Amino acid sequence: MLKNNPWELPKPLVYLAPMSGVTNKAYRQIVKKFGSDLLFPEFVSIYGMHYGSDKTLEMLKFDDMERPIIAQLFGSKPEYFYEAAKTIKNIGFDGVDINFGCPAPKVAKDGGGCVLMGDLGLCKEIIQATLKGVNNEIPVSVKTRKSYKKTHVRDFCKAIADLPIANICIHGRSFEKPYIGEADLDCIKEAKTLVPFLVTASGHGHTPEAAKYTLDYTGADGITIARGSFGKPWLIKQIKDYIATGSYTEPTFNEVLDTMVEHARLATQINSERPFVEMRKVLGWYIKGFPNASQYRAKLVRVNTIAEVEAVVGEIKQ
Ligand SMILES: Cc1cc2nc3c(=O)[nH]c(=O)nc-3n(C[C@H](O)[C@H](O)[C@H](O)COP(=O)(O)O)c2cc1C
């Protein structure tokens, strides 16, 4: 029996999606402050885990305040999923998630991510191996897309419906058009009729209104927020407020900038050696739409210290 199942939290679940190159510790912790129900580190390769890659193990570090936290795995070999799932459980994660949705060449090149949807038998084998690896001690979930070539997510759902998994998260865009155009919500709505476990919607949660619409329209049990959180770590709180009360507040100009500095400070505390490598692009997201944003962004992409961030923020505030 599962002792703590994060998927049993009150519905709807509203949480930060896994994002490679984005959801590092500092990013997760700033979003957690605004109420993300779940967190995911950047996804890790089952091969990186098998070979004990330092970079992979580093990406799997988290602080207790981030719980419940779920690790996401990518790759294509069931026996490595078995092994990786065991390790994830032993590290102390609250769940393990399998990536069946990533279209990126680095994942697709050995048949992992979304490409797996082209072989539903292998998808099942991977899930079964992962379930065996966690030995019923932490939940297993999956994340996928609307379609891969001729395989629709409805086929995927039918193939896995009898497995004891906790949640399927569906990004309503195809492999062929991975991030552009409107997300299809009908495939998520249909999934609710096909599987006995939870369904989470992804791809149409960029505003509180869109998130609520997605939940109402699809009947999904949760929604996961990805690009909508860029420069807006408070979006999850706004969505929850909007669902609960029908209204939400926007942060003031100063609150936006103060959150940006807080985020930068967290990054320096967490990664004292190279805090600004990933942070520079993130800082730029906060000032999107500000007057003279491009001028300040040009300065933010060169910062190396928290004092330099504060200096740019001082200029913006004047
Ligand atoms: C930069 C970036 C990295 C992503 N990395 C992952 C990942 O590692 N695992 C995953 O399941 N999805 C990943 N995604 C997909 C998102 O989790 C999400 O499903 C997708 O962006 C659609 O949601 P959105 O329209 O709210 O951005 C990534 C998306 C972006 C933009």
Q: Does 48 have pLDDT greater than 90?
A: yes
Ligand 1: centre distance to CA 18 (Å):
6
Q: Does 1 have pLDDT greater than 80?
A: no
- Cα–Cα dist 165/134, whole Å: 12
pLDDT tens, position by position, 259-281: 999 999 999 999 878 888 889 89
pLDDT tens, position by position, 88-146: 999 999 999 999 999 999 999 999 999 999 999 999 999 999 999 999 999 999 999 99
The answer to whether 287 touches 293, Cβ cutoff 8 Å, is yes
Q: Which atom of ligand 1 is nearest to the CA of 43?
A: 8
Task: Give the model's pLDDT for residue 197.
Answer: 98
**Ligand 1 pocket residues where CB is under 6 Å:** 17-22, 42-43, 72, 99, 101-102, 143, 171, 202-203, 205, 225-228
- Cα–Cα dist 173/180, whole Å: 8
Q: Six-digit token pair at 248? A: 């939400």
pLDDT tens, position by position, 183-197: 999 999 999 999 999
Best mutation site among 20, 74, 97, 214 for ligand 1, i.e. most ligand atoms within 8 A of its Cβ? 20
The fold adopted by the segment(s) 6-245 is: TIM Barrel (3.20.20)
The amino acid sitting at 61 is K
Ligand 1: centre distance to CA 224 (Å):
9
Residue nearest to atom 14 of ligand 1 (CA): 19
Evaluate if pTM is beyond 0.85: yes
Q: Which atom of ligand 1 is nearest to the CA of 224?
A: 26
**Which distant-in-sequence residues (6+ apart) come within 8 Å of 281 by Cβ?**
301
Residue nearest to atom 4 of ligand 1 (CA): 19
Average pLDDT over the chain, rounded to an integer: 96
pLDDT tens, position by position, 224-246: 999 999 999 999 999 999 999 99
Residue nearest to atom 31 of ligand 1 (CA): 227
Q: Does 211 have pLDDT greater than 70?
A: yes
Ligand 1: centre distance to CA 317 (Å):
32
What integer is the mean pLDDT of 204-224?
97
- Cα–Cα dist 76/110, whole Å: 7
Active centre residues (catalytic): 102
- Cα–Cα dist 127/80, whole Å: 12
Q: Six-digit token pair at 302? A: 């060169």
What integer is the mean pLDDT of 47-66?
96
